[in-house]
Structure 1
Amino acid sequence: MSLESQGIQSKKPKLNLNLHENIKDLSEFKLGSVLQNSTNRKVVCLRGSFQSKEGEAVVILEKTAFSVDDLTSDSKFFCEKNQLEKIFHNDVYGDYKYFPIQELNSIKATIIHPATEKHIAKYSSQTFYIIEETPDIYFEIVLPHITDQKFDLQWVYNILEHKSESDRILVEDTDPNNGFVMVPDLKWNGEIDTLYFLAIIKKINIKSIRDLTSDHLPLLKNIRDKGIAAIKNKYGLESSDLRIYFHYQPSFYHLHVHFTYLRHEAPGILTERAHLLTTVINNIELLSDYYQRSTIPFVVRENDKWFDKFVEKGIVKRRNGI
């Protein structure tokens, strides 16, 4: 059943896809500012624009992880075409810059265009605060914010309706109540060492773990079992190799589950945001309305629009005292 037939209409205009259809390089990208430079993750987020294209853009450049499959005795990493530049040596220790050949030196690029203020805020460096979200805080501040903001989910609907990324689907269950679609996350570079999939549910009225009750246990177990089986079948990974979790708060408000390789330190796996699927299932089995009663911590950014509401209610104080 299509979203339109369910009475769900997108109020957002269609995105201009011309940039993504024709772009070959970044020669037309004009840098405005550096939003964030993560020396730990080797990721830089840039704000700017493209010549002859309307609207701002966010460009994310990330140095890719090494693939174990490429590190063999006859690997191209160990050939004379690569260059070493010595910085210094001291006794048995030597420090060098290593310049591998082009095919081993790729950088993953993500381009968001046209970028909204929400995109720019999301990828900007900023101050974070922990909010202990009680049910009262959820209903008084968080839920109205989610409702009022009308977060754009058109890209999610495109996946569910096979209008986009249909060739990337790993597994799909079309059941209207317990069905889901699993696709690679935008952050995954395709190497098994950084494996990252999203399982997006078919139902459109579940925003986050706050909405989950015992009625949804068949859905959650279906995602767990079929997601694990699909990854094992294609990539040979066991369930014990996987980190399967929800985000709270999620980056978009249509229930989805993250599947990542346990060895991969993916963004958002820290305790203040990640909730393991097995733990969520167990909590609901213990108490049907667990997530309607519980206090759930999450991180809020200082330049988020709703941060001022938490300050006004005395839930959090700005660190500068203002």
Structure 2
Amino acid sequence: MMSCSGLLLTCSVSPQVSCKEQSADAVVILERAPFQADAVSRLLGNNPEPKLQLKNDIYSVYHLNPPPELNEVKATVIHPATEKHIKKYMRQELYLIQETGEDYRNITLPFIESQSFSIQWVYNILEKKAEEDRIVHENPDQEVGFILLPDFKWNQKQVDDLYLIAICHKRGIKSLRDLNGDHLPLLKNVLQEGQEAILKQYGVQGNHLRIYLHYQPSYYHLHVHFVALGHEAPGITVERAHLLSDVIQNLEMDSQYYSKRTLTYTLRSDEPLLQKFKEAGRC
């Protein structure tokens, strides 16, 4: 049991923890920040009694007890959490989907349009009704502009796990599938201005960044991920992340590339979209 913002939650101990409260559901995600060089030297130098667990020739394994200042855990709380939130963080069997352009039009798009996926929180950011103090950079142009701000997965204490999101001002672009040649000025501007803003704010060069879009995305409004190249962030797997530079090049070759291209992604066993693919005999 643990206390979280005054709520009594039952949690399993793992990097991503699903929790339930007696009167309402919640999700708590526990994460450890990367160690920094000075922290590691203090941990090794000041640890009074490292406990030897294993020794074999030149290899030794010790158990160390970090001091409180080096033992910080970040807890992200989603409360009240919907059933979709809870299922998202539960371990599920995965299925690989190969979605053709026809599948998208006949299965995926009707499913998306039939659901009430709320993105009001995105509009709150774009309209400066929430998180205005977290904005790193903004281009207010409604066609090629965007807001750049840190992702909640990044504690902003070090650039090793740098993670920012560019949320585009232009509305109506749900995902990669909606992109065409007309959107090239927008995509190129996000790529260039995003890199320039991160270099200015954090001193990280563009060639040290992984810049990509997700398909399927976690929410249906165009946004781009900017992540430190050495950071293995969730969602960088080959079947989900599409490098922005590749997206631009593909659209330059064929302005309708993503309306026709077969796109591969995973769905969890309990996702309604998977059931739609099964009903259509496509999975």
User: Structure 2 length normalisation: TM-score?
Assistant: 0.93
Instruction: Tell me, in whole angstroms, the C-alpha distance in 1 between the residues paired with 2:54 and 2:266.
Output: 43
Question: Do the aligned residues in 2 keep the contact of 1:82 with 1:100 (CA within 8 Å)?
Answer: no
* Counterpart AA for 2:135: I
- 1:135 deviates by 1.3
* Cα deviation, residue 239, structure 1: 1.1
Corresponding residue number in structure 1 for 2:107: 141
The secondary structure found in structure 1 opposite 2:148 is strand
Match in the other structure for 2:85: 119
Q: What amino acid maps onto 2:30 in structure 1?
A: L
Q: Is the 8 A contact 2:47 2:65 kept in 1?
A: no
Aligned residue number for residue 182 of structure 1: 148
Structure 1: 4+ residue segments shifted above 6 A = none
Shift of 1:275: 0.5
Distance of 2:230 and 2:100 partners within structure 1: 33
Matched with 2:73 is 107
TM-score (structure 1 length as normaliser) = 0.82
CA distance in 2, matches of 1:166, 1:83: 46
1:161 aligns with 2:127: yes
Separation in structure 1 between the aligned mates of residue 89 and residue 269 of structure 2, nearest angstrom: 13
1:271 and 1:88 map into 2 onto residues whose CA distance is 36
Distance (Å, rounded) in 2 between the aligned partners of 1:161 and 1:286: 35
**Which consecutive residues of structure 2, in runs of 5 or more, have no partner in the other structure?**
none
Q: Is the Cα contact below 8 Å between 1:128 and 1:299 reproduced in 2? A: yes
Q: Give the conservation status (yes or no) of the 8 Å contact 2:16–2:89.
A: no
* Structure 1 residues 65 and 217: CA distance shift in structure 2, 3 A: same
Contact 2:47–2:64 under 8 Å retained in 1 = no
Q: In 2 relative to 1, CA 171–86 (structure 1 residues): closer, same or farther, beyond 3 Å?
A: same
Could you say what secondary structure the match of 1:193 adopts? coil
Unaligned 5+ segments in structure 1 are 1-23, 38-42, 317-322
Which amino acid counterpart does residue 144 of structure 1 have in structure 2?
Answer: P
CA contact (8 A) 1:207 1:253 kept: yes
State the match for 1:44 in structure 2: 16
Query: Comparing 84-93 with 162-171, which one deviates more in the overlay?
Result: 84-93
Identical amino acids, percent of aligned pairs: 47
Residues 27 and 90 (structure 1 numbering): CA distance in 2 closer, same or farther, change over 3 Å?
A: farther
Selected match of 2:230 from 263, 269, 276 = 263
> How do 1:154-303 and structure 2 match up within 5 A?
154-190=120-156, 191-303=158-270
Q: Following the alignment from structure 2 to structure 1, what is the Cα–Cα distance between the partners of residues 201 and 38?
A: 16
186-195 or 171-180, which deviates more: 186-195
Asked if 1:58 corresponds to 2:27, the answer is: yes
Confirm or deny: 8 A CA contact 1:82 1:101 kept in the other structure. Answer: no
1:89 is displaced (CA, Å) by: 3.4
Letter in 1 for 2:276: K
Q: Which residue of 2 aligns with 1:16?
A: none
CA separation of 1:130/1:143 partners in 2, compared to 1, >3 Å: closer, same or farther?
same
Which secondary structure state, in structure 2, belongs to the residue aligned with residue 130 of structure 1?
A: strand
Structure 1 residues 315 and 117, CA gap change in structure 2 (3 angstroms): same
1:160 CA drift (Å): 0.8
Whether 1:30 aligns to 2:14 is: no
Task: Report how many aligned residue pairs link the two structures.
Answer: 280
Q: Name whichever of 229-238 and 240-249 sits farther off.
A: 229-238
Q: Give the letter for the 1:102 counterpart.
A: P
Q: Residue type of the partner of 2:209?
A: L
CA contact (8 A) 1:56 1:113 kept: yes
Q: How far 1:314 moved relative to its partner?
A: 1.5
How many angstroms does 1:63 deviate by?
A: 2.2
